Amino acid sequence: MKVVPYIHRDLSWLSFNYRVLQEAKDPNVPLLERLKFLAIFSSNLDEFFRVRVANHRNLVRAGKKTQKNLAFEPEKVLVRILNIVNKQQEEFSSIFEEQILPDLIKVGIQVKRKKFSPEQLEFMTEYFIDHLQPFVHPIILLEDKVKPFLNNANIYLAVELKDKVKSSAKEMYALLRIPSDKKPRFIELPSKKKDKRVIVLLDDIVRNAAELIFPGFNIIGSYSIKLSRDAELYIDDEFSGDLIAKVKKSLSKRNIGVASRLVYDRKIPAPFLNYLMNAFSIHKYDLSPEGRQHNNSDFFKFPSFGLSNLKDPDLAPLSYPPLEKAKSIFDKVQEKDHMLYFPYNSYESVVQFFEQAADDPDVTHIKIIQYRVAKKSRIMNALMKAVKMGKQVTAFIEIKARFDEEANLAWGEKLEDAGVTVFYSMPGLKVHSKMAIVRKVVNKKDLFYSYISTGNFHEDTAKLYTDFGMFTADSRITGEVIKLFRYLETKRLPEQPFEHILVGQFNLNQQLESLIDAEIDNAKAGKKAKITLKLNSLQDKDMIKRLYKASNAGVKIKIIVRGICSLVPGLANFSENIECISIIDRFLEHPRVFIFENDGKEKMFISSADWMVRNLHHRIETIVPVYNKDLKKFIKKILAIQFSDNTKARVIDKSQSNSYKSDDTNLSVRSQVEIYHFIKRNLELKAWTG
């Protein structure tokens, strides 16, 4: 029996995060954007340790009995993860120290760590006394006597002290909290040169003040450390009791969870590190060496000093006149389907869809699924206004959306207070669909308008994430969207099966398998057979086996995957007919699109679902057909541009080397820029996608 090639999801994820790091070291990326990618890499890694690595550690602690039914050995995977991360962190430090810092100096920005001028030292001392001293909270560490609690993700200076008077006294250890949650991380220092900006990290201001904090001691050394804690919400029995109360209780414990890693300056002396390990009960698997500073996600806030030339050129979202300038969006959608592609298109059409629904006297009902939403949201305001205007408004809120649980609970309470009917998470499942529906009654006739998206109703991320959004009044789709909302509200199974929309927990897996199998049969019969997939993650083993089977049958398979890809393309006897690329660029690639050749009678879908176990088996997901021929052409053109990318596309292969895709053409194709101009040309020619 052949072993099916399969890359563990977490090892594949680390390969994805390395693609982010590649952007930080690419000299063709504007300098401040490279800093942004360092921030993204760091932020991604923090969440990875708090969730995925914490899970592996828990499996290792649970012992062999718990592990016996697993398809992998947690300890081996954990060791590989730590080895890969350590190498990536070394490269991170090298990129920052040897590339980015010198390049910043070239443009007149210096991040200074030592050799401060007397004026700068005076400024730092005064800044510490005036702004930082109340928040620093020095703690003397006494082995086996004082074991202070370290706040999750806070930075501390671990300081080694020596008594100035008692020369024979042993070294002492202490901690200083860096109050980066209270004050800016980057502080500008006085400079004698007008064309030169000097930045100091908050860490180094505290470091410089250590002798003020510990009078009578010599400072032998100071080293930055950070503790990350397990962030998973362990809700034991979601089938009984008050789920909202359980989530709230778990949230209150998230920041006091079990330590998942100790991040430390790799220059810290071994005896000091061992002391800290004992003081905080840290295992060797919890150690993560980094450079001089941590919480590098703070680079998101690095000052730009108005130097726009150090950032990506502006790609302002493009207005979509057929809807944005329409007196009634609903009339335009009644005429034909419309497809927008964010953030290239403005999100204004989506916002106006809800605002017009609130104002339209013929609208009677609005229903929406909320997974993640902006802190300040015109869409949510429109829903609350709609209630005041006499509409019946229903919101299904998924309160188990990781790291958005608290925000979703707050929005749920606010909507309820405004009179919106709110339904919360389903027991044992996450609802991950992205859709809304509006009902109008005109001349006693019911009219329905649905908005289907691959992304959330989030006005902020709509400027950063690429997503397709489709407006439709097609009764084949709206009728089944109504059916799904009825199920979410009543928990009663639909009397009639879903025929057009594929819905998780109902027909989604079965229909996906049938679509792949049909391509296999067509290939064997010598008919047209091809599968094109665009998704965030591909991890489900059953689906991967089916794709291998399709490849062996002669089905040509092309995949664009942003993150996890457990499938191994290009292997003899498995995946010779599978080509896979990943695109990492200024926007985060987020859509899911599935296209099946079907012997020339093409079937195309947009979706909220990745091909992961969690999406296909433990969520309410939706895969929605695209019936309009013009919309199909539009999506296929977008994918064709992405497959031609030879600038930001990486080849996914068994080596996970993330080599950049190349071709024989001399023309450089950067797909995200090409797509922007393609859409702009279409708009200028009034070639609306509908």
pLDDT at residue 520, rounded to an integer: 98
CA pair distance 52, 232, nearest whole angstrom: 9
CA pair distance 175, 162, nearest whole angstrom: 14
pLDDT at residue 396, rounded to an integer: 94
Lowest mean pLDDT among 276-280, 605-609, 673-677: 276-280
Tens digits of per-residue pLDDT, 356-375? Answer: 999 999 999 999 999 889 88
| Domains 321-487 and 502-684 are alike in CATH topology | yes
The model's pTM: 0.92
Q: Which entry of 365, 432, 458, 590 is annotated as an active-site residue?
A: 432
Tens digits of per-residue pLDDT, 566-583? Answer: 999 999 999 999 999 999
CA pair distance 531, 540, nearest whole angstrom: 17
> Domain coordinates of the chain in residue numbers?
9-310, 321-487, 502-684
- For the domain covering 9-310, report its CATH number: 3.30.1840.10
Q: What whole-number percentage of the chain has pLDDT above 70?
A: 93
Closest CA to 620 of 482, 456, 484: 484
CA pair distance 343, 345, nearest whole angstrom: 5
CA pair distance 206, 2, nearest whole angstrom: 59
Residue 495 burial (CB < 10 Å; 0-12/13-18/19+)? exposed
pLDDT at residue 406, rounded to an integer: 81
Q: Name 345's bridge partners.
A: 318
Whether 458 is catalytic is: no
Separation in Å, CA 104 to CA 21, 199, 205, 295: 18, 11, 20, 20
pLDDT band at 690 (very low <50, low <70, confident <90, very high): very low
Backbone angles phi, psi at 531, to 5 degrees: -130, 130
The answer to whether residues 42 and 299 touch, using CB atoms and an 8 Å cutoff, is: yes
Q: Is the pLDDT of residue 234 over 50?
A: no
Mean pLDDT of the chain: 91
Three-class DSSP labels, 156-177:
EEEEEEEECCCCCCCCEEEEEE
- Element (H or E) spanning 519, and its range? helix 508-524
pLDDT band at 235 (very low <50, low <70, confident <90, very high): very low
- The CATH architecture one would assign to domain 502-684 is 2-Layer Sandwich (3.30)
CA pair distance 25, 91, nearest whole angstrom: 9
CA pair distance 650, 564, nearest whole angstrom: 13
pLDDT at residue 409, rounded to an integer: 85
Q: Name 450's bridge partners.
A: 437, 472
Tens digits of per-residue pLDDT, 240-294? Answer: 445 556 555 554 554 556 666 889 999 999 999 999 888 888 888 888 899 899 9
Backbone angles phi, psi at 98, to 5 degrees: -100, -15
* CA 82 from centre of chain: 21
Q: How large is the angle between the packed helices 74-94 and 54-62, nearest 10 degrees?
A: 150
pLDDT at residue 404, rounded to an integer: 66
Across the range 631-642, mean pLDDT stands at: 98
Tens digits of per-residue pLDDT, 86-140? Answer: 999 999 999 999 999 999 999 999 999 989 999 999 999 999 999 999 999 898 8
Q: Which residue has the higher pLDDT, 194 or 133?
A: 133
Domain 321-487 has CATH 3.30.870.10: yes
